[in-house]
Amino acid sequence: MTNPAGTATAETAVGAEVIAFRAAGKIFPDGTEAVRDVSFALHRGEFLSVVGPSGCGKSTLLRMASGLGPHTSGEVASRAENVGYVFQDATLLPWRSVRKNVELFAELEGSSKHERARLATEAIRLVGLEGFENHYPKALSGGMRMRTSVARALTTKPPLFLLDEPFGALDEITRGTLNEELMRLFVSERFAAIFITHSISEAVYLSSRVLVMSPRPGRIVAEIEVPFGYPRSPELRYDPEFGRLSSAISHALREGYE
């Protein structure tokens, strides 16, 4: 299931291309143009953040990447046979325990009971939810629900993660912790990620590259490389270069409005 090439090149910065947008756009049936002329390529081991004003088509971009909401112009070439889609809401099934929730995708894809259990155990360990397997989502905190959601996505070992403001509804401290854990997962699993956020510092901290989008119709107004290596420590946020990158993104965001 895992891409052998990906694991072989785990230590090198970037692996095979996972997805590429070429002048891709999307116009909804009602005539609203959500996304215009977006081009980028993403490889395994790359973490791409997308920042932009509300309603600029960031979520539409993710839906285009997943194939759920196909593009209407240009091209989106995906080599990801499955994607790990994580929403701002944990989207768990309230009638299933943590373990049963994590097993869901493997179950839908027809894995054997034994295989499902193995995948779930591993994913639950990766997100640090051991001991909570039999809890229902109702009994979990927001942060733990989000971990369950991430664990569920991990079970299919996706080469591409699509994260739609996954920590947007969490408090600052939980958000910080989950940022570090996401980074740890990224370093150990070497997937490619498209991460949507409103937080510039979150984007710089996690990403190898940041795309800045304009208001609707969303276009890419800046593409900013983040030159830090992985793993990164939380202290990185106080690095002068971190500040420079943040202000560059902030500047590009403001320019996008004009």
Partner 1 sequence: MSEVSGPQVEALSGGGKISSPTTRLRGGGLVRGVLPPLVAFGCFIGIAYLFSYVLLSPGRRFLMPPPHDVVSHSFFRGRNLHEQLGAMWDTAQVSITGLVIAFLIGSTVAIVMSQAKWIERALYPYAVIVQVTPILAIVPLIALWFGYDFTARVVVCVLISIFPIITNTLFGLLRVDANLHDLFTLHRASRLERLVKLQLPHAVPDIFVGLRVAAGLSVIGAVVGEFFFGQGNPGLGNLLNLYRAHLQTDLLMGALFWACFLGIVSFWVTGFLANRLTRNWYEEHR
Residues that bind partner 1 (CB under 8 A): 66, 68, 82-83, 85, 87, 89, 91, 93-95, 104-105, 107-109, 136, 138-139, 156
Which of 46/164 has CB closer to partner 1?
164
> Can you read off the two tokens belonging to residue 193?
């990620």
CB of 104 to partner 1, least distance (A): 8
Q: Which is nearer to partner 1, 105 or 167 (CB)?
A: 105
Helix 142-154 / helix 172-189 crossing angle, nearest 10 deg: 20
**Closest approach of Cβ 207 to partner 1, in Å?**
24
On whether the CB atoms of residues 25 and 74 are closer than 8 A, the answer is: yes
When the beta carbons of 138 and 257 are compared against partner 1, the nearer one is 138
The residues, ordered by sequence, that sit 6+ positions from 137 with a Cβ below 8 Å of its Cβ are: 90, 92, 93, 94, 96, 98, 101, 145, 148
Distance from the Cα of residue 3 to its chain's centroid: 19
The tokens for 221 are: 């107004």
Q: Rounded distance, CA 218 to CA 231, Å?
A: 31
Choice between 6 and 158, CB closer to partner 1: 158
Output the smallest distance, CB 106 to partner 1, in A.
9
| Shortest distance in whole angstroms from residue 68 CB to partner 1 | 5
59 or 207: CB nearest partner 1: 59
Q: Which is nearer to partner 1, 6 or 166 (CB)?
A: 166
Identity of the residue, 87 or 228, whose beta carbon is nearer to partner 1 in the bound complex: 87
Smallest separation (angstroms) from partner 1 to the CB of 156 = 7
Six-digit token string for 89: 């809401």
String of DSSP letters for 1-35: ---HHHHHTSSSS--SEEEEEEEEEEE-TTS-EEE
Residues 84, 39: contact at Cβ < 8 Å?
no
- Nearest-approach distance from CB 87 to partner 1, in angstroms: 5
Half-sphere exposure of residue 95, counting CA atoms within 13 Å on the CB side? 0
Q: Is 215 exposed, middle or buried (0-12, 13-18, 19+ CB in 10 A)?
A: middle
- Tell me the closest approach of the beta carbon of residue 173 to partner 1, in angstroms: 23
